[in-house]
Amino acid sequence: MCGIAGFVDWTTQPQDKSILEKMTESLQHRGPNDIDYYFSPPVALGHTRLAVVDPMGGQQPMTRHRGESPVTLIYNGELYNAPELRRELEALGHMFNTKNSDTEVVLLSYIEWGWWCVHRFNGIYALAIWDEGHQKLFMARDRLGVKPLFYTVKNNSLIFGSEIKSLLAHPLVKPVVKEEGLAELLLLGPSRTPGNTAFSDIKELRAGQILSFDKSKMRINTYWRLESHEHEDDLDSTVDNIRYLLEDTVSRQLSADVPVCTLLSGGLDSSGLSALAVKNKGSIETYSVDYADNHKHFQPSLFQPDSDAFYAQQAANYLNTSHRSIILDNTELADALLPSLYANDLPGMADIDSSLLLFSKEIKKKFVVALSGECADEVFGGYPWFHDTNTVLQNTFPWIRLVDEKLKYLNSDVINAIKPYEFIQTNYRNALEEVPQLSNETATQQRLRQIAYLSITRFMPTLLDRKDRMSMACGLEVRVPFSDHRLVEYVWNIPWDMKNCDGMAKGILRRALSDLLPKEIIYRRKSPYPKTYNPIYYNSVKNKLTDILNEPGSPLLKIINKKELQDKLENNDHVFSQPWFGQLMGDTQYLAFLYQLNEWMKDYQVIIS
């Protein structure tokens, strides 16, 4: 994986190369192995490299020629079907200069097929190609949006990068947040409206989109979206097809010229991937995460019925993996809230982020690539909101909770500005308009299809963003096999009674993996990414936020209802009656979110307008 940054500037003024260098250097964590530039006005391209495939031959920016005209690529991602495409391109007469670089496959695919090449890719990617002959910049993002790509257009210049910080390093881009951006942060929580960021000037190329930019205009088109049709396979065939797709994608994603491990929580998804990795490689190393003394403080609930430690070790023993449990210090966890904020460029999932950052740092000491189980619950319908009748019937995003309670902690001026209920409902209605429904479905089936679409296109990006930013902040590449677009397309149309066969959530996935794991793992209930229950963490966060409330110049004071929040802190009262976002983000996470929000406004010099 890598970091990419650059701009196209059609003005007659000579560009300052130092701007490109600043933008690219801000992404050095994404590519610690190399940094290089392509500078030929009107285009400036920068690349930082994390060498995973063909370390000696995959340097970027990479240039090949179409006739006499150079075509130059910068690329962040992995192409899992590169060997097949390479053979096809060779049969068409293309000559390769590298041993097995997927970067060169991407570049020659564009030269051979133009923008249509993205339809041939199986992988995760964000790429930018400067086509000198056509004086055009072409950009694309993978179908599920695993790899990020941000952009803005300013003064007839297109500016882009892998992370928001790279754009903010350009002098034309200012950290302006308007009412809509403030609403994104305060109401949608860590989730975002696709294509938007909190910053008014910065957009994100949506998953499955391409962008072209020339002197005449910028064009954005969607090349992939979910399509609904009748599922024709019977139960046994469906199980077989899921198993085939999983085996194939895990095999492809284990391919690397550097060490590969898997993340193993002891849940169905990570255990299944680890089992398939063992089947493919014979042996593998696995990692899980926990918190100091968490066993003393763990509190089972509807949302987190049990802890991972026992099941992770049980799965590791069964699969005979070399397993290591990373135990995180709770004070360090609180101190990592700031580094995780800077990795994300926005307030995020609080300690759910900071723990993954610390976890990734430990894994990176030995490994460069890891496989992880994200996306299975969105794709197969594993979250509680798929199975709770009251939640299914709610006319809003199922993971956005307690809006009334959240508003108590905001001041009236902010509430009037962001129009909370109108904002949420507008976003919700816009999302529902995208859903590709089937005409012959029952009302319940239609509703579950809606929730699945919302989960895949609105909630899943939150977890993919988190995984990308926290791991890449450490120079660790985390691959997510359950996001393989072939698997997502297939499972999307499986009827719900078949998805939940055997009377269990994700029953079809349990069947597909049933011969690989012990029954205790196969039938384990959904348990999300672990959080700390240790009061040391809560007290540390509480002290940080109390200091902010007592500092008259704190930016947060312009947004919150100070008295309401301060009363809760002083009395050690619960801020919320249940998680306010998803399944895990409760009182402590909200306090940590507010702490991050204050530091973000201060350190990023955010301009609220």
pLDDT at 596 over 90: yes
Residue 575 confidence class, pLDDT cut points 50, 70, 90: confident
**pLDDT for residue 570:** 87
Supply the pLDDT for residue 492.
Answer: 98
Instruction: Quickly state the pLDDT bin for 584 (edges 50, 70, 90).
Output: low
| Average pLDDT of the chain to the nearest whole number | 94
Is pLDDT above 90 for 221? yes
Residue 14: predicted pLDDT: 63
Alpha carbon distance 239, 217 (integer Å) = 47
Structure tokens of 28? 């050095």
Give, in order, the Cα–Cα distances in Å from 186 to each of 195, 276, 407, 452.
17, 40, 9, 24
Amino acid 390: pLDDT: 83
Q: In this predicted structure, what is the pLDDT of residue 585?
A: 67
pLDDT band for position 288 (50/70/90)?
Answer: very high
- For the segment 465-492, the average pLDDT, to the nearest whole number, is 97
Residue 581 has pLDDT above 80, yes or no: no
Predicted local confidence at residue 583, as pLDDT: 62
Active site residues: 2
pLDDT computed for residue 38 by the predictor = 96
What is the strand order of the sheet 477-479 is part of?
Answer: 322-328, 285-291, 260-263, 369-371, 477-479
525 has pLDDT over 70: yes
Neighbours of 547 (CB within 10 A): 12
> Cα 55 to the chain's mean position, in Å?
25
| Helices 420-433 & 179-187 angle (0-180, nearest 10) | 80
Could you tell me the pLDDT band of residue 12, with boundaries at 50, 70 and 90? Answer: low
Task: For residue 347, name the pLDDT band (cuts at 50, 70, 90).
Answer: very high
Helix axes 351-364, 460-472, angle to 10 degrees: 40
Position 1 scores a pLDDT of 67
Instruction: Indicate the pLDDT class of residue 295, thresholds 50, 70 and 90.
Output: confident
Q: What confidence score (pLDDT) does residue 177 get?
A: 97
Rounded average pLDDT over 136-153 = 98
Question: What pLDDT shows up at residue 302?
Answer: 67
Give the model's pLDDT for residue 467. 97
Q: What is the average pLDDT across 250-261?
A: 93
Which of 82, 125, 144, 122 minimizes the C-alpha distance to 483? 144
What is the band of 199 on the pLDDT scale with cuts at 50, 70, 90?
very high
If you search the block for the tokens 């998803």, which residue do you land on? 582
Considering the chain, what percentage of its residues have pLDDT values greater than 70? 98
Which H or E run includes 438?
none
Structure confidence by residue, pLDDT tens digits, 451-462 = 999 999 999 999
Q: Answer for the pair 422, 202: CB distance below 8 angstroms, yes or no.
A: no
Least confident of 38-42, 47-51, 302-306, 390-394: 302-306
Nearest to 326 by CA among 297, 285, 296, 298: 285
Averaged pLDDT, 118-140: 97
Whether 351 shows a pLDDT value over 90: the answer reads yes
Of 325-334, 359-368, 391-400, 472-481, give the lowest mean pLDDT range: 391-400
Cα 519 to chain centroid distance, Å, stands at 31
Nearest-5° Cα angle at 196, 190 to 198: 60
